[in-house]
Amino acid sequence: MTDPSTELAPLRRQVADACRVLAARDLAPGYLGHISLRIDERRLLVRCRGPQERGLAWTTAQDVHLVTLDGEPGTPDELQGWDPPNELPLHAEVLRTRPEVTAVVHAHPETVVAADLAGLGIRPIIGAFDMPGTKLAHAGVPVYPRAVLIRNRTLAAEMLAAMGSCPVVLLRGHGLTSAGAGVPEAVLNAVSVERIARLSLTVVSAGGRLRDLPEADMAELPDLGGSFNHDTAWRHELARLA
């Protein structure tokens, strides 16, 4: 398949690389999960299902296709033997509702599912260990309490109501949805949430008790800026793939 425009080729590669990052970080250990990127008001790039599905760890740019928010081909020849994910409404409804969001991640990290089912919320239990993640947890990570396949706009709207203006929402018995101003931000938000869930499970399994970071310590955590929190972190994630 050839790109309908040369400018979409690097964006397809970015979405594909991001899918591989999710797998490398154990947020998508199997073949379930997908990432989308807004292209314009009615179209997005999204990882699709093909005839030789192998899972997110082996995603290539050829797996990423241009579709409308309603799942129609973004160009006449775009979907030939490929299908958008069943949960495309999950992506589309976030993009319809939140204009500041350009990228959406949906993943099934086992640690996040286990921590939520164990009653462990995503709390600011760490500090300088992961400052963006700590601030995200401090602001609150809500939970959508239904363990359903979000395959239509009604269910997606329910998820959006739970998510509100937060960057991440947990999906009980299912996984998570993460949003961002770009693909790196959406993925890194999900990575931070998974890291806190994993640490929480480790602490509790060792007989410990989760304690939120004191407000005095929260106030001492600087904002190192997007060039460090996102750009440098994203280069690191891509380098790990090699």
* pLDDT means over runs of 10, the chain (242 residues): 68 97 94 96 95 90 96 90 95 98 98 98 97 96 98 98 98 98 97 98 98 96 83 95 89
Confirm whether 105 is domain-assigned: yes
Confirm whether 2 is domain-assigned: no
Is the whole model's pTM more than 0.85, yes or no? yes
Confirm whether 167 is domain-assigned: yes
Residue among 87, 185, 194, 237 flagged as catalytic = 87
**What is the β-pairing status of strands 175-180 and 103-107?**
antiparallel
Confirm whether 235 is domain-assigned: yes
**Mapping DSSP to helix (H, G, I), strand (E, B) and coil, where does residue 182 land?**
coil
Q: Structural domain tally of the chain? A: 1
pLDDT at 242: 85
Q: What is the CATH number of the domain that holds 134?
A: 3.40.225.10
Tokens of 14: 């970015």
**CB neighbours of residue 143 within 10 Å:** 15
Closest CA to 201 of 24, 26, 19, 23: 26
pLDDT at 100: 97
pLDDT at 229: 78
Cα-Cα-Cα-Cα dihedral of 191, 166, 229, 55, to 10°?
30
Confirm whether 3 is domain-assigned: no
Tokens of 237: 């994630």
pLDDT at 4: 54
Confirm whether 1 is domain-assigned: no
pLDDT at 30: 84
Active site residue 87: yes
Q: φ and ψ at 65, to 5 degrees?
A: -130, 155
pLDDT at 5: 57
Which structural domain, as residue segments, surrounds residue 229?
Answer: 8-241
Contact 48, 83 (CB under 8 A): yes
pLDDT at 128: 95
Contact 190, 176 (CB under 8 A): yes
Instruction: Collect all residues with Cβ–Cβ distance below 8 Å to 125 and sequence separation of at least 6.
Output: 137, 196, 199, 200, 203, 210, 211, 212, 213
CA distances (Å), 205 to each of 26, 88, 108, 201, 239, in order?
20, 36, 21, 6, 32
H/E stretch holding 203: helix 183-205
